[in-house]
Structure 1
Amino acid sequence: MRRERFHAFALEALGKGPDVRGAEPWDRGDHTVGLHVTFSTGAQVWISITTALAPGEKHESAEAPVHAEPPAEVPVPELYQDGSTTPEKVKHYLAAVMANSGCDEIALVYPYADDGHPGFGLQFHNGAKVFCLLVHSARPGQSPGAKYELQAAF
């Protein structure tokens, strides 16, 4: 799934998450395209999207989606503890919401290991990949500052 189509799909899928108030497009203006997700408490996270084409596919060629069995449904983990969340909880939560979307182009959705920047990835049946990195967060009522950073809890 190419970036433009994934972007539209992710906005719809994440917007249906049980603790999601809304999902909107995010374009930082520096070629960063992503998602701005607001949770039911008002906490927010901004996610950048990077994609890798299916093996052998070229940007100038038509996309060739492959439809097969979507990922098995997984339990959606708790997002909050004591009224706030963390990047660790968010990546697992969003990965579960995406896995449970029922999209038959998705082969696998996984949260990134705890070895760096939090986020989640998707692999499609045609071999294409999407990488979603959490790049900024804000507590309820807080507006994003000029510096993009993830808070330990928000």
Structure 2
Amino acid sequence: MRPARFQDFAVETLLKAPEIKNAEPWTEPDRTFGIHLTFNTGAQLWAAITATAAPGDDYDRPEIPVAYEPPAEVAWPDPYEGGKVTPPRAEAFLAAAFTNSGSGEIARAYEYSAGATPTRPTAHPGMGIVFHDESRIQVLFQHTARAGQDKGGRSFDLQDAF
């Protein structure tokens, strides 16, 4: 799945997810594709979308989706720890949202922190999706804001809890 179509799919999928109050496309001058999420608590997450094309895919030609059986649904993880969203919990929650989307194009979704250890932490929080055509989407967390904060053009750092 290519990034433009994924952005639309992500917004549509995440608007149906429990604990998500709002999802909308997000861009910045140096980021073409992204999503801005607001959780029911008011916590916000801005994530960039990057892609790895399927082998032999040419973005100058029309996309040819490949679909098989969608992944089996998984239990929805709680995105909150102590009432706040944490990056690892957001990763698991988003991976579940895409796994549970019913899309036959998705082979699997995974969170980056799943294989992290204290001596080998995740370099950047986020999650990934592997599609049946072997393309990949990376959803990289960029900014967070606690309930009541307004990004207002300022760049927020990633917070341990938001």
Compute the TM-score of the two structures, normalised by the length of structure 1. Answer: 0.95
Check the 8 A contact 2:48/2:139 in 1, yes or no: yes
Q: Compute the displacement of 1:149 (Å).
A: 1.4
Find out whether 1:143 has 2:154 as its counterpart. Answer: no
Aligned residue identity for 1:19: E
In the alignment, what sits opposite 1:44?
Answer: 44
Give the match for residue 119 of structure 2: none
Amino acid aligned to 2:150: S
Secondary structure of the 1:4 match is: helix
Counterpart position of 1:102: 102
Q: Secondary structure at the match of 1:92?
A: helix
Task: Please report the TM-score for the alignment, with normalisation by the length of structure 2.
Answer: 0.91
Distance 2:32 2:7 in 1: 12
**For 1:8-64, what per-residue CA distance to the aligned partner results, in whole angstroms no more than 9, with x for missing partners?**
000000111100001011011223420000000000000000011110111112211
For the 8 Å contact 2:31–2:48, the answer to whether it is kept is: no
- 1:126 and 1:95 map into 2 onto residues whose CA distance is 19
Structure 2 gaps of 5+ residues are 117-121
Runs (4+) off by over 2 Å = 145-148
The question of 1:122 aligning with 2:125 is answered no
Map 1:2-81 → 2, pairs under 5 A: 2-81=2-81
- Aligned residue-pair number: 154
Report the Cα offset of residue 68 of structure 1.
0.2
Deviation at 1:146, TM superposition (A): 2.2
* Letter aligned with residue 87 of structure 2: P
Q: Which runs of 5+ in 1 are unaligned?
A: none
Three-state SS of the structure 2 residue aligned to 1:27 is coil
Q: Percent identity?
A: 47
Paired residue type of 1:120? M
